[in-house]
């Protein structure tokens, strides 16, 4: 696996080889490993930014989800990844959003007085969404 996908710090770099030039199974798997490493880095960073969003929203966690915004996100992604299409991307993004909210719930932000309020908000919203 490729552990160095952020180089320099704050900048993600990953090769995007054309699938047509991948001549062996090992080459194809190495390309997938590099993409997976970059994807994991992006997902981790997205979850951290989403946690900041939750902290800033009046109602955070699962109760604070915005279906219209999520639809717009999927539409924008489908324009960049037409072979996946909106239906597949909606499932992927739902999983990404839920994982980010779950991570934020498990690791409430350390913001002093807001930390306890945010933790209660996340827990209560999660219970309400079940």
Give me the tens of pLDDT residue by residue for the chain, a chain 130 residues long. 444 566 667 888 888 989 999 999 999 999 999 999 999 999 999 999 998 988 888 887 777 889 999 999 999 999 999 999 999 999 999 999 999 999 988 875 554 444 444 444 444 444 444 4
Residue 119 corresponds to which tokens in the numbers above?
């933790």
8 prior amide bond cis, ω within 30: yes
Residue 114 corresponds to which tokens in the numbers above?
């807001």
pLDDT of residue 108: 57
pLDDT of residue 1: 44
pLDDT of residue 36: 95
pLDDT of residue 22: 95
Q: Is 6 helix (H, G, I), strand (E, B) or coil?
A: strand
DSSP string, 27-57: HHHHHHHHHHHHHHHHHHHHHHHHHHHHHHS
Domain boundaries, the chain: 19-129
CA distances from 4 to 15, 38, 46, 62, 66 (A): 12, 9, 18, 33, 34
């Amino acid at each position: 696996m490729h552990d160095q996908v952020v180089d320099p710090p704050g900048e993600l770099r990953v090769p995007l080889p054309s699938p047509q030039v991948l001549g062996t199974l090992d080459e194809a798997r190495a390309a997938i490993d590099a993409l997976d490493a970059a994807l994991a880095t992006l997902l981790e960073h997205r979850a951290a930014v989403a946690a900041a969003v939750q902290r800033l929203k009046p109602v955070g966690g699962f109760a604070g989800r915005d279906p219209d915004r999520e639809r717009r996100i999927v539409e924008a992604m489908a324009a960049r990844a037409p072979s996946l299409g909106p239906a597949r991307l909606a499932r992927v993004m739902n999983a990404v959003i839920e994982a980010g909210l779950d991570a934020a719930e498990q690791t409430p932000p350390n913001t002093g007085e807001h930390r306890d309020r945010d933790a209660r908000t996340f827990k209560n919203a999660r219970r309400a969404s079940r």
